[in-house]
Amino acid sequence: MKKAWLIPFGLFLAFGCDAADEIEAEIDCNSVCSRYSDCFNEDYDISECQDRCEDSIDRGDLAQSDLDECENCIDDRSCTDATFSCATECLSIVP
């Protein structure tokens, strides 16, 4: 009975981790979609891209690690360099 507090604590951690994953995906999707808009098409619908990206994460079509690879690849590169160096990493996220 003394360890009964572990059950609610475990549930809290599980939900907390899910929320953190959702926030990370939202930030990463926005970053990648915004960068695409900045580099290629200023009229690109960032919100639609972000929604599509987050939905892909939620469905399991896109892994958070794949999104991280894209974001890490484009992070410190110029638009031109990112286009040629990160196409493989980012193709499943932006056109």
Predicted pLDDT at 26: 86
For residue 57, what are the domain limits?
42-95
List pLDDT tens digits, range 40-90: 899 999 999 999 999 999 999 999 999 999 999 998 999 999 989 999 999
Q: How many angstroms separate the CA atoms of 93 and 50, rounded?
A: 9
72 occurs within a structural domain? yes
pLDDT per residue over 3-40, tens digit each? Answer: 554 454 444 444 444 666 778 888 899 999 999 999 98
- As a whole number of angstroms, the distance between CA 78 and CA 62 comes to 25
Domain count of the fold of the chain: 1
Q: What is the pLDDT at residue 47?
A: 95
Residue 95 lies in a domain: yes
Tell me, yes or no, whether 73 lies in a domain: yes
69 occurs within a structural domain: yes
Q: For residue 77, is it within any domain?
A: yes
Q: Is 91 part of a structural domain of the chain? A: yes
Would residue 81 count as lying in a domain?
Answer: yes
**Element at 74 (helix H, strand E):** helix 64-74
pTM of the model: 0.75
